Structure 1
Amino acid sequence: MSLALDRYEAILCDIDGCLLAGERVLPGARELVSRFGARLVAVSNNSTDTPQTLGAHLARLGLPIPPERIVLAGATAVDQIAAHALGARVTLCGSAQLAAYARGQGLVLVERDPDMVLLTRDIAFSYARLEHVVGLLRAGARLVVANIDATHPSAEGGLVPETGALLAAIITCLPGLRYQVIGKPEAALFDIALRKTGSRADRSILIGDNPATDGEGARRLGIAFAAIGRGGARDIAELLEPLQPQEV
């Protein structure tokens, strides 16, 4: 049964597994973006890109979502650190794009004596890097984690290791380690997205593929949740089936 997306003031939508699988645009994704325009905000645990780099990439794929309507876990983690500790010394495990963004936000990226370690999706993460990060955390650095997703879907139907997989390696070495999570299911990304749309949680819906992060985060805030892809039977095309608008 369609959830009649037209009745919601704001459409929050995950990217990997919902709009894209790797470089492949999923069925209904272009129609969703075209139909809802400024009512749609992409809310993703992506911690590789910035809103600017991802916005440009989405536009090339025919999904014109501007940077101001893209909320990402990695960039939000940088923003929050900068807002509370401008000039902080940070060891970043992550992409070159995110490193450039962090420097632009006033963070000082270091490999020795950091105030904190920021863990994001790092495709160059290695045994040596794990050993180094564990040493920094044992010495007193605080751990901030962009997201706890273990994987996201690939274009071929496989799984792409995510930040949560790297986190698992660290906490295996340091059982009981305390850390801060920025991305879904925590509230930060949802709160930012709702402010961008000017909508209340109870008049918004989240489209996502991961019940453990998308679904749980929406539940905590009272946002309706449409599970698709690996998390449910629907896809975007089915959600777009026209029904008479109803009151929330």
Structure 2
Amino acid sequence: MFEKIKCFILDMDGTSYLGNELFSFTKDFLKKVEETGREYYFFTNNSSKSQQDYIEKLERFGIRIKSQQMMTSTHVISRYLKQHYEGKSVYVVGTPSLIQEFQYFGINVTEEDPDIVVLGFDTTLTYEKLSKACHFIRNGCTYFGINPDWNCPIEGGAFIPDCGSMAKLIEASTGRFPEFFGKPSKHTLDYIIQQTGYEPDEIAIVGDRLYTDIAVADQSDVTSILVLSGESTREDVKTSDVKPNVILEDLSEITKML
């Protein structure tokens, strides 16, 4: 099944770990990937933290990676803004880590009179930030969202509202809904292919969400693997328009097949 696969793109929360708890099978999987001459990268839609935040989190789990192995949805939109909106000012609805990440990439972040509004997964969201964003959007600013996730999984099987839910709130006020750049956007798929250097049929994307992790590979030659260690269930697959190429319980089943 995986003979042609040379690169695994791994979701994080719900696939590699849950909250602050690493799954017991994750390290064995990563070791087997390396032993078989393959590569792995992590990709998270969660835009509330920076690349370095995630690298440090993995280090706390005993997983040490190169910076290029840690991909985020923020990287995807940052590259797009640099390519298509160089020099334009951006009002970011996001955490301090997210704002610092944009500044690191040389994005012109501003609090007043922006050209563009970017909505991230803001766990520090305030009414003031929400009100300002709606005002700018209502008055014609270009409007983008980073990741379309409705919920973010946390320990104990619970969820908290994510960027997609925040976008619905803004839509109710302004009538506008953003173009998103994280999974399942084609922007993300193009980014993954370019950054890894592999052909689409040499890449497997592994994740626990049908509408992001699996949908990003839809209508492409990239292999999609749904693991049932996070959000989606087999019942969800039955009612979904998006179907994975493979359904497995968790990463340990891939380890046995490599």
TM norm. shorter chain > 0.5: yes
Gaps spanning 5+ residues in structure 2: where? 234-247
Equivalent of 2:32 in 26, 35, 40: 35
Match of 1:242 in 2: 257
Match of 2:212 in 1: 213
Match of 1:164 in 2: 164
Q: 1:102 to 1:166 in 2, by over 3 A?
A: same
What letter is aligned with 2:5?
Answer: Y
Match of 2:232 in 1: 231
Q: Give the number of aligned pairs.
A: 239
Match of 1:190 in 2: 189
Taking only aligned residues, the RMSD between alpha carbons, in angstroms, comes to: 1.9
Deviates more, 1:225-234 or 1:110-119: 225-234
Question: Is the 2:183–2:212 contact (alpha carbons within 8 Å) kept by the matching residues of 1?
Answer: yes
Match of 2:11 in 1: 14
Question: Is the 1:12–1:41 contact (alpha carbons within 8 Å) kept by the matching residues of 2?
Answer: yes
Deviates more, 1:133-142 or 1:195-204: 195-204
**Which deviations, in whole Å up to 9, do the C-alpha atoms of 1:192-248 show, x marking residues without a partner?**
2223332211222111111011111111322111111222461111221136xxxxx
Question: Is the 1:47–1:75 contact (alpha carbons within 8 Å) kept by the matching residues of 2?
Answer: no
Could you list the structure 1 runs, at least 4 aligned residues long, displaced by more than 4 angstroms after superposition: 4-7
Question: Is the 1:90–1:108 contact (alpha carbons within 8 Å) kept by the matching residues of 2?
Answer: yes
Report matched runs for 1:1-248 at 5 Å: 4-5=1-2, 7-37=4-34, 39-175=39-175, 177-228=176-227, 229=229, 230-232=231-233, 234-242=249-257
CA distance in 2, matches of 1:23, 1:80: 31
Percent of matched pairs sharing the same residue: 21
1:7, CA displacement in angstroms?
4.3
CA distance in 2, matches of 1:240, 1:152: 26
Deviates more, 1:68-77 or 1:162-171: 68-77
CA distance in 2, matches of 1:104, 1:64: 22
CA distance in 1, matches of 2:136, 2:165: 19
1:21, CA displacement in angstroms?
0.9
1:160, CA displacement in angstroms?
2.7
**Which deviations, in whole Å up to 9, do the C-alpha atoms of 1:122-174 show, x marking residues without a partner?**
11213332222111101111111101001122122111321111111011112
> For 2:125, what is the secondary structure of its paired residue?
coil
What letter is aligned with 2:194?
Answer: R
TM-score, normalisation: structure 1: 0.88
TM-score, normalisation: structure 2: 0.85
Question: Is the 1:48–1:74 contact (alpha carbons within 8 Å) kept by the matching residues of 2?
Answer: no
Deviates more, 1:99-108 or 1:179-188: 99-108
Whose RCO is larger (CA < 8 A, sep 6+)?
Answer: 1
CA distance in 2, matches of 1:65, 1:35: 15
> For 2:201, what is the secondary structure of its paired residue?
helix
> For 1:123, what is the secondary structure of its paired residue?
coil
> For 1:240, what is the secondary structure of its paired residue?
helix
Deviates more, 1:227-236 or 1:130-139: 227-236
CA distance in 1, matches of 2:153, 2:3: 27
CA distance in 2, matches of 1:212, 1:242: 26
1:78, CA displacement in angstroms?
2.2
What letter is aligned with 2:200?
Answer: A
> For 1:143, what is the secondary structure of its paired residue?
strand
CA distance in 2, matches of 1:68, 1:119: 24
Question: Is the 1:71–1:192 contact (alpha carbons within 8 Å) kept by the matching residues of 2?
Answer: no
Gaps spanning 5+ residues in structure 1: where? 244-248
